[in-house]
Structure 1
Amino acid sequence: MTPDISIIIVSWNIRSALQKNLQGLFALPGHIPFEVLVIDNGSHDGTPSMIRQEFPKVDLIQNEHNRGFAYACNQGLRRARGRVFVLFNPDMLMGEGVLEHAYGTLMRRQDIGVLGVRLVRPDGTLVESVRRDPRLFDQLAILLKLPHLFPQVLNRYLAKDFDYTHSAEVEQVRGSFFAFRRDVYGRIGELDAQNFFIWFEEVDLCRRVREAGWKIWYSAEVSCVDLVGQAFSQQSMRLKQTRLSKSMANYFLKWHGVPQAAIIFALRPYVIGVAAIADLCRFRSSKWK
């Protein structure tokens, strides 16, 4: 039977969280047929073996090395058979009724191109998942760590005035739960893996969807648990800042042109250097503990 929904999960060295994720998915009441595709980006923690042994229904795509989030998502999208696609982070837990709600809303509301849902931490506190389009000022503030001293500089970008208790049209939603129809994918195309190894791929996609005339929709009626970036925590500050700043620069080059992108490219050596120093300090501190 052809599934209504294809759930696409990209995993990298996050076996335990992914195991709980998959256990939760396959324990859901069977109200809507779905398939699960896991694209493993060269994990060395036994993730592929765990999937084969414990979750034989999962369609596993195994990469020999980390190809990046956008590239791996595209691998899953090409193989997916559903009418609705859900990009779902490995460190997530699907809430009951979420799939039915997402499918029903996207099928009923043809004006919606991408749908996100309410995200909460395991203790029930809100994960702020709505953003406004990046502007040069707020992204420079992020690179220079200004929010540590002046958190209000990101109020516009982080949509601090957004009411998460009500469903609404927004500019972008967090990629942890990112649902869209097959026809949207057919028209918009794949995630831009050439420009975005990780970070900004969903920002770019949301903008492309809006440019094509569809809405980005935040749905407050249902929720998922988000453990927030467990795979990222394994990476060094230097690597994270290298990838973040490159994706940021590529985004501004794509949407705002050379002058704004050049400012970010010029700052990259400083940002990466500071991150490398931070890694060294952390390493020395851990040795003394």
Structure 2
Amino acid sequence: MQLSVIILNYNVRYFLEQCVLSVQSALENIDGEIIVVDNNSPDDSCSMMKTRFPNVKLIQNNENSGFPKGNNIGVAQAQGEYICILNPDTVVAEDTFSKVLAFAKKQSDLGIVGVKLIDGTGNFLPESKRGIPTPFVAFTKITGLYRMFPKSKIFGKYYAEHLDENQTGKIEILVGAFMLMKRDLYLEIGGFDEKCFMYSDDIDLSYTVLKAGKSNYYYHETTVIHYKGESTVKDGTYMKRFQEAMQFFYQKHFKVSVLFSAFMKVGIVFFSLVKLFQGQPKIKTPPKSFVLYSSSEQLANKLVLILQKKVVFHDLKTEKMVLSSLLKEGAGTEIILDNEFVSFKESIAVLASLKNKGFTFKIVPKYSDFLIGSNTNSERGEIIEIER
């Protein structure tokens, strides 16, 4: 088998459904498998998987054992030559895996491959590529120096600014939302360190791969949506675990002075509080208008009743999707993409093309009864249930 995709889920049933749909489409011409590991979700994630995807391997844990252990459990049952660690709040394009695998096979020193990630508004996520957070690099992050001098070789290392977002190349640290590597290498280095519950696990794995003499790569020629904020509610528990994760990484890999350790503790608390503040709910402004790209007039009529507003319907059976025409709609318009007629790759392209133009976006996953999307990467997204 060529590829095993490991999806660790906790309590994000709707995002998981969309994610698995996109992965199934991306594996259509690949000898691969999907393994969903559920960390004892209180929602109906598992019942949904059994009903919607009976042929997908589902592992149900009796406890929330954390990100590292959950993924290790999944990889232990994987059969693929390559594995891909994938967050449930992601959407891959139909050609994502074929492109990344082709790239991976060409590398003689392959460690981990990551891809270009965007959020639910189409904006690039800088954590797609990062540098090793040495004490100094962490200092530039905590103090905000990386923002003041983003192109500086000295201060721009945290987000690997030496490499443009549209440029493929070697980097040091990748994010756990999408990590593709050889299964043998994963097992050789021991997988994710289970001493860390979550948050610095991807940094630790990336760094361990580098220490094993391999190279990590950022690959920009495919784009994946990462909604973020879905698997984690940024509450007091989040802040505590984030602090513990950063302390775990430094204690494991770096020898630092007592003075610097004290500074880092203060910095971590400050950084955690910022994250906590970012995760607080904000007042949401409802869309002024809606535009639906579909070929289902029935769906258009249902959305009018549900949304209680006019829905401009573009029938893809008779017209093409012309994004430039949407600019006339103006800010405050929500674009709804029916995945039965608009591919995941096309949907991702729409988000990326219309970012920062005042639009919000929702996808209706194929054969599903809900709209899904996120208007910010710092809080949970929005689900609107419909009857198909």
What TM-score comes out, normalization by structure 1 length?
A: 0.84
Q: Deviations over 1:167-214 (max 9, x none)?
A: 1000111211100012312321221011x1001111111111111111
Q: Tell me if structure 2 keeps the 8 A contact 1:132–1:157.
A: yes
Q: Deviations over 1:58-116 (max 9, x none)?
A: 11111122110011010001111100000000000011211112222223323111101
Q: How does 1:57-72 map to 2 (within 5 A)?
A: 57-72=55-70
Matched, 1:209 2:209: yes
- Deviation, structure 1 residue 27: 2.9
Matched position secondary structure for 1:126: coil
Q: Tell me if structure 2 keeps the 8 A contact 1:8–1:36.
A: yes
Amino acid at match of 2:214: W
In 2, distance between residues paired with 1:207 and 1:278? Answer: 29
Q: Tell me if structure 2 keeps the 8 A contact 1:113–1:216.
A: yes
- Deviation, structure 1 residue 136: 2.4
Matched, 1:133 2:129: no
Indicate the residue corresponding to 2:171 in structure 1.
170
Matched position secondary structure for 1:82: coil
The percent identity for this pair of structures is 25
Q: Deviations over 1:244-270 (max 9, x none)?
A: 110101110111136468437854996
Matched position secondary structure for 2:115: strand
- Deviation, structure 1 residue 226: 1.3
Q: 1:245 to 1:140 in 2, by over 3 A?
A: farther
Q: 1:16 to 1:189 in 2, by over 3 A?
A: same
Q: Tell me if structure 2 keeps the 8 A contact 1:92–1:224.
A: yes
CA RMSD of aligned residues (A): 2.9
Q: 1:107 to 1:63 in 2, by over 3 A?
A: same
Q: Which has the higher helix share?
A: 1
Amino acid at match of 2:160: A
Q: Tell me if structure 2 keeps the 8 A contact 1:10–1:89.
A: yes
Q: 1:77 to 1:125 in 2, by over 3 A?
A: same
- Deviation, structure 1 residue 28: 3.5
Indicate the residue corresponding to 1:159 in structure 2.
160
Alignment counterpart, residue 241 of structure 1, candidates 218, 239, 242: 239
Amino acid at match of 2:92: M
In 1, distance between residues paired with 2:185 and 2:71? Answer: 15
Larger deviation, residues 22-31 vs 38-47: 22-31
In 2, distance between residues paired with 1:272 and 1:216? Answer: 26
Q: How does 1:78-227 map to 2 (within 5 A)?
A: 78-128=76-126, 129-139=128-138, 146-147=143-144, 151-152=147-148, 155-194=156-195, 196-227=196-227
Alignment counterpart, residue 19 of structure 1, candidates 9, 17, 20: 17
Q: 1:180 to 1:139 in 2, by over 3 A?
A: same
Amino acid at match of 2:148: Q
Q: 1:141 to 1:241 in 2, by over 3 A?
A: farther
Structure 1: gaps of 5 or more residues = none
Q: Tell me if structure 1 keeps the 8 A contact 2:243–2:269.
A: no
- Deviation, structure 1 residue 142: 5.8
Larger deviation, residues 36-45 vs 100-109: 100-109
Structure 2: gaps of 5 or more residues = 150-154, 284-388
- Deviation, structure 1 residue 123: 3.9
Matched position secondary structure for 1:117: strand
Q: Deviations over 1:120-175 (max 9, x none)?
A: 234432222111111224546766xx44x984377431234431111100011121
Q: Tell me if structure 2 keeps the 8 A contact 1:13–1:43.
A: yes
What TM-score comes out, normalization by structure 2 length?
A: 0.64
In 2, distance between residues paired with 1:65 and 1:270? Answer: 28
Q: What is the total number of aligned residue pairs between the two structures?
A: 275
In 1, distance between residues paired with 2:146 and 2:106? Answer: 43
Q: Tell me if structure 2 keeps the 8 A contact 1:118–1:219.
A: yes
Indicate the residue corresponding to 1:231 in structure 2.
231
Q: 1:163 to 1:49 in 2, by over 3 A?
A: same
In 2, distance between residues paired with 1:208 and 1:109? Answer: 18
Matched position secondary structure for 2:26: coil
Indicate the residue corresponding to 2:43 in structure 1.
45
Q: 1:162 to 1:169 in 2, by over 3 A?
A: same
In 2, distance between residues paired with 1:273 and 1:218? Answer: 27
In 2, distance between residues paired with 1:265 and 1:247? Answer: 12
Q: Tell me if structure 2 keeps the 8 A contact 1:241–1:272.
A: no
Q: Tell me if structure 1 keeps the 8 A contact 2:26–2:96.
A: no
In 2, distance between residues paired with 1:22 and 1:37? Answer: 10
Q: Tell me if structure 2 keeps the 8 A contact 1:86–1:180.
A: yes
Q: Tell me if structure 2 keeps the 8 A contact 1:176–1:226.
A: yes
Q: Tell me if structure 2 keeps the 8 A contact 1:9–1:90.
A: yes
